[in-house]
Structure 1
């Protein structure tokens, strides 16, 4: 016979319930703060050194139950200092809920993974120094207007810094030392008007340091052990503590306002400028004379050369061509404008004539490759090296004996009527400089061989990563998907709203979003829009906006639509068009967009590979952006600057509602095609 269950007396049950209610009501700490610390504790593998910390519940601000390293004011957590505790794991995904935290210090631990986007949004001090964090600095840092100290030194950060420093006026100390950061210093550094201490030591930064000369507040600058070139601006030599050794400073005579870098490497040179001013004046005179001779030579050559053309966008976003006619008179190359003249088309008079004026571009500075060299690097253009094929030709993987790998875009020789057309196109594309745009590094312009050479991205395209999974890859995490969307949006914002003249892309799709070793996005095919007369043919089914029933209907807002489709792929893990699905599900836009505002249905269309590891509120905000981008009426779609802003906001709020778990990092594939 089963033993009867003992019943709790009604009075006792009521008392227990009342006690629980009173305990909750008496808790001092804001519930959102508690949940964020619960997730952080779990993500750090529940270390025993964190006294009183809990994976679920608790009261960090209770004087009798205070959590180690946590300070509070009233009912909110205000400071977290966990430095030097030998902590492991990662930082989770819910730190953005800590609205009142002004100091976050986890320095000198063994934490790893990427620095999450979801950092406390109102930080004054952020110290992540001395861990094993990978990836880059999250873009959410750019919105921390009260930030005074940023220390991410001695980690494993890599890649280029994004232009994210325009809204950090209070930043006084920034330490990026002992990482593997590369590329040129971002121009937004010039907005760090309060910066006093900057440590860039032991990275792989390249280019000049001219932008730092605009920071009059600098008192301590360490540039040691990078790959900087050029000369040190004379304004920097006045800094009390300047370290410059271990770089590739120019050894020739410096122009006015510059000085040679120190080969010894310890501190700035305090050499007198006496005796060199005369040399500079003489050099300037010679330079002016040489420039005049070169200018006359160029003009003479152009009188006998054909007119070439530039592709650009007018105010409505429609494609046009601007002519380059030989100039009869000129006083300054930089200020010359072009007269209104007919032009010679790039191929069979594909475009309409445009009368307009534009500045002449400066000569490009890229590596010039020979066709024989590229032929050898691609195995004699072997079919096994083909990693992509489109309307403009094939893309090959080029491998060199020293281990260098490049992507070679080989155009159909008939794509250009003359060599000058191709060189001018390369000139334009070489000036597209944005971290999320695939960078051209060289070219070949021999008869019958029109080739562009690009940087290689080891993780292939977003299309491959989402839809052609293999044994070497794991699903993209939610944070990584948002980062890919934001980076691609910023690349399009650059083309649409920052470039002058503005540029339309015309071929936005997941196969043209390339992923580097850290899964950062790089938009390819920028500047090649004139090849895509009919976007329906180049984009393929699923990406083409409804207004493109005729080629002339394509505008910048059409790019926005195609980008919205890419976001849909990130959200759902499904292809833009899949003929294997039931007919009502084949078009991703038609199938999913009606469900984007249905909170119950939204979870069902999210990529199953995410396994529910995403914050529901962030998912909803992401879906809202998609819905705006894929409006059938182009006028109702947002500008890309609005999209970037909304995605940044999505990033900041990406971890406000889910607790108890943490996102894992996506692994990278070691050798996949990338175009």
Structure 2
């Protein structure tokens, strides 16, 4: 009996061991990716931490492993968020762009308010935000969702005119914008919706014709109760589910189209259940239209023989082509003609904020004879989701910077041809390097006069120190070259350019900067500077913080560039007097951490006012932005007049006032009265938390002239 009992006990223990191992394995495999967890934590807090979302937390947790309400996963990635009809309130937070594996995003039939966030799950196939109380416009980031198949924003309070943002949505089959307050003409990019089957636009205030819908493969179209005019294209008459009542359609037969294009006929407004015209009526109308078309063709033929094509028409066509809309951040910059235009000289690589940097040991280059790396400048751990002071936790840091040969960079830049010159800053010129595989890099040639006298090993030390800077809001260095007396830094490429471009050089449609986006840019940049000042050991002073050094990725997240180049700024005064420098900075060596805080305050002032730090075109009292704006930051009436007019009043007044308070602290004339960057970050976070919806109602940007002399990596 005893041996059998012992055998049974052993078997039981072994079974328990196997079960424990299985549970452990399941737990390990179900652990959710940290960016997904962080995004869902933010969403939960923005939804006012509702009790009906069982399992959800505002910090940490395991959505995939713990089966959070409405969440589905594949492996460690969240793939579906379905929270329809749960009575949720609040807003949707600011981190949805981190949910890169989510394909189904459904928050319909709740009580959500405010703007639809600019950031949405970027690879979503289905988005349903219908039956809420969202205001503002359709977020422009949707224009980049090339995999989107179904978009339902119906039954909200969305308004204003639709941006021309649908050119890349080739897979979209269902679009519902009904029961909102949209106005204006339908965007021309609707013509690109080559897969669209269902389009519901009823109960809005759309106006103008609907000819842009004529070529779409629709089988369900509802445009009832708008302000549409003109004639219903004949191509739409055979749609099975067609509802057109409640508009101002033109009476009588439609005018004949230009020769060679399909004829368009007027269709009576049809509501559900209405029968189509009789066969005889259609036949009579067809004969009449046919006669008109023949007459029009004869007239056109005679006219063509009697005169040449109108030059005025050709000019109109060129003008129309010159205004062709280009969706934000989707534009490929591979055409050499754009090099000459120089409209991308502030771009670097689009940096995925959820990914970790692959930093490996810098290999010794025979051309420059690098020594072993010095101790890393940044030795603290840093979490971008935490704002409290963190302990000084030591960690080892390796780094990665590829050694590019001079011949390679010469070939990729056309031997540093003038046509490849992107811009010139205080440290050197930047060139665009293009490779056969489509890769694009930005190559900065350091002015040789800045290297002289620094010592043979100084450049290698600078490269290594820059490589070790690791933060999601910093631009990343990927390589270097030091041959034949030439020293270069190689960056990857942000195709969306710089904040300076968006604030001062963009047109009013393709580059929207809402108030929400401006606050997001300020916070991200503040986090980057906080990292340099309070995480790096010893602290790193930037010395050249300005809007042209804040680069924007595809989601308009900021990435501060030019980091680690303070050594060169000690030897140049080109960046002085540009409107960003603190009063104490009469020479480059006078910079301190608090000088960076002042420069950041000037950037915030740019975000608030839309003005450049120094503008000689303004009247003399207004040329210096700080001198003009600072005395008015606490005057509510004056502050309202200072706000960037491109926002058209679409911002929350309390948020503006708090934003101005932070600016005023940063711009104190005495350095000791300026707050440390950690306090600036905390203040911006509190601003967002106190007004989570931000209550903005539109995406707008600025028009201004183009400059090429204020850029510096």
TM-score by length of 2: 0.46
TM-score by length of 1: 0.49
